Amino acid sequence: MASFSTTATVEDPRVSLGDGGILPPTRGGGGDDSGPGLPDYATRLRRARLGLLVALTPVLMLFVSFTSAYIVRQGLPTLDPRTNTLVRDWIPVTLPRLLLINTGVLILSSVFIELARRQIKDQAALRPITARPRISAGDQMRIPWLSMTLVLGLAFLLGQWTAWRQLAANGFYVATTPSSSFVYLLTGTHAIHLMGGVLALFVAGIASHLRRSAATRSIVVDLTAWYWHFMAALWIYILCLLKFAS
């Protein structure tokens, strides 16, 4: 019966095992501001981005699935029992113009959050210098891109809500026609996911007050920005699907 293998080599530099091996080894190097025992900023960013990429896959699959349901439902004839013939019942929905304005708002918000992402990255990189008294990073750093994105995001959601009210006023509710069902389904699911993005923005915004490090804040904003861009691209796709695939 073997016990713990004594012939194994375990490479293990710079480790203090005074704590009985409970704590992970400390990491040297400065400037990354991430605290003892954490992987460095580059690793954390890469891992977080990989995680986001993986996480966006099922979101994509959700909308791929809705798309295939949309295409199938649109083209599908059904048996009219009265006449014993196959009929199609697809009536296209006139989309409110407001949706185009909302699209503009969302695209602009994407621009803003991209600027926020770069801004906080620069901030994190400059921290060793700006930490010194009497050194400032300039006016560019003062523009609150993140808050502006949040405002636009909320404006988009409000705009979507208003667009739904307009649809209802025109007589198109969720179950009125199959086409209207899909309009509410696709825009509604997108809006729910965007709300998640808004929540992330909020968390990123108050992160500084929660005393998270600049590196952590940078990663949170980075992920939120990529998520936001994905949501914007997804919205453009949904709009095109609803407008042109009718």
Partner 1 sequence: MATHEFAAQESHAHAAPQGFVRKWVFSLDHKVIGLQYYFLALAAVFVGMFLSLLMRIHLIWPTLALPLLGDIKPETYLTLVTMHGTIMVFFVLTTAPQGGFGNYFLPIQIGAPDMAFPVLNMLSFWTTLLGFIVMIAAFFVAGGAPLHGWTGYAPLSAIQSTGPGEGLGADLWIISIAIFCIGALMGALNFITTTLDMRAKGMTMMRLPLTVWAWFVTAILGLLAFGVLLSAGILLLMDRNLGTSFFVPLVTINGQLTGHKGGSPLLWQHLFWFFGHPEVYIAILPAMGMCSQLLSVFSRKPIFGYKAMVYAILGIGFLGFMVWGHHMFMSGMSPYTAFAFSIMTMGIGVPSAIKTFNWLGTLMRGRIRFTSPMLFAIGFVSLFVSGGISGPFLAQPVLDIQLHDTYFVPAHFHLIMGVASIFGIFAATYYWFPKMFGRMMNESMARWHFWFSFIGTYAIFMPMHYLGMAGMPRRYSQLTEVTYLHGLIPLQKFITYAAFVTIAGQLIFLVNLFWSMFKGKQASDNPWEATTLEWTTATPPPHDNFGGHTPVVHNGPYEYSVPGAPRDYVMQSDPEIGPAH
Partner 2 sequence: MGLVLLIIIWLITFASTYFFIAKTWWLPAGASAAAAGIDHHFTTTFILMGIVFVAAQVSLGALVWIYRDRGSSSSKVTYSHGNTKLEIVWTLLTTILFVGLNLMSSSIWASERFRPAEVDAVRVEVTGMQFAWYFRYPGPDGKFGATNPELEDASAGGEAALGLDTKDGASKDDVVTGTMVVPVNREIEVILRAHDVIHSFFIPTMRFKQDAVPGLAIHMHFTPIQTGDYEILCAELCGLGHYKMHGMLRVVSQEEFDKWLAAREAEKQ
Residues within the interface to partner 1 (CB under 8 A) = 1-5, 7-13, 15, 17, 19, 21-25, 27, 34-39, 43-44, 46-47, 50-51, 54-55, 57-62, 64-66, 68-69, 72-73, 76, 78-81, 89, 174-175, 178, 181, 185, 189, 216
Closest distance to partner 1 from the beta carbon of 87 (Å): 8
Which of partner 1, partner 2, none does residue 175 bind to, with CB < 5 to 8 Å depending on kind?
partner 1
Q: Min. distance of Cβ 234 from partner 1 in angstroms?
A: 13
For partner 1, the closer CB: 39 or 92: 39
Structural contact between residues 27 and 36, judged by C-beta atoms closer than 8 angstroms = yes
Report yes or no: 214 and 34 within 8 Å, Cβ to Cβ: no
**What b-and-e string marks burial along 173-199, b requiring 16 or more CB atoms within 10 Å of the CB?**
eeebbbbbbbbbebbebbbebbeebbe
Pairwise CA distance, residues 88 & 156, whole Å: 34
Chain-centroid distance, C-alpha 187: 16
For partner 1, which is the closer residue by CB, 79 or 245?
A: 79
* Residue 140, both tokens: 């560019």
Which of partner 2, partner 1, none interacts with 24 (beta carbon under 5 to 8 A by kind)? partner 1
Least distance from partner 2 to the Cβ atom of residue 241, Å: 24
Q: From CA 203, how far away is CA 240, in angstroms rounded?
A: 31
Q: How far is the CB of 181 from partner 2 (least distance, A)?
A: 16
Q: Which two tokens stand for residue 25?
A: 């080894």
